[in-house]
Amino acid sequence: MTALTIVCAVGAATAAGAFFTFSDFTMAGLRRLPPARGAAAMQAINKAAPSPLFMLLLFGTGAACVALMVSAAMNIDEPGSIMRLIAGAIYVAGVVVTTVGYHVPRNNRLDRVDPESAEGADYWAVYLKEWVPMNHVRSIAPLVSAVMLVVSLTAGQE
């Protein structure tokens, strides 16, 4: 379980860093552009984002967290198991579910608008208002998960 916990912690921390860049400066930079250019840039980013490596990071870490949660549940009396179970759930809910259920539909809707149109400019304003705050969740959840996983490795050691 130690190796799987480390894999999950590193994956979660890496995901946190990727999402943090968007929350901190990527979206702020796109917001400074004229709406048509910001929306077009985000459309290009959204097309590039589902790269094999990024999907492996996001969903591979999610799958590893599910495996860790199952292992932790089966060994619930071992030190750190409850923390691993909670940390895995935080990653899965805060990253996987939020990405698939919240961000992807908004990304798909943005992809369907013409950034040069009035509809495109209007949706870009809505997109920024809706997408960015929930991206903060995707930044914080995997960071919390990573910290909990690291701490779980020392549980029971005194």
Which pLDDT does position 158 carry in this prediction? 59
The pair phi, psi for residue 78, each rounded to 5°, is -75, 145
pTM of structure: 0.94
Cα(66)–Cα(143) distance, integer angstroms: 17
Q: Closest by alpha carbon to 61, among 103, 106, 108, 17?
A: 17
Instruction: Give tens-digit pLDDT for 40-49.
Output: 999 999 999 9
Instruction: Give tens-digit pLDDT for 76-108.
Output: 999 999 999 999 999 999 999 999 999 999 999
| 98 close to 141: Cβ distance less than 8 angstroms | yes
Which pLDDT does position 62 carry in this prediction? 98
CA 156 to chain centre: 30
Which pLDDT does position 154 carry in this prediction? 92
Burial class (CB in 10 A: 0-12, 13-18, 19+), 52: exposed
| Positions in the chain short of pLDDT 70 | 156-158
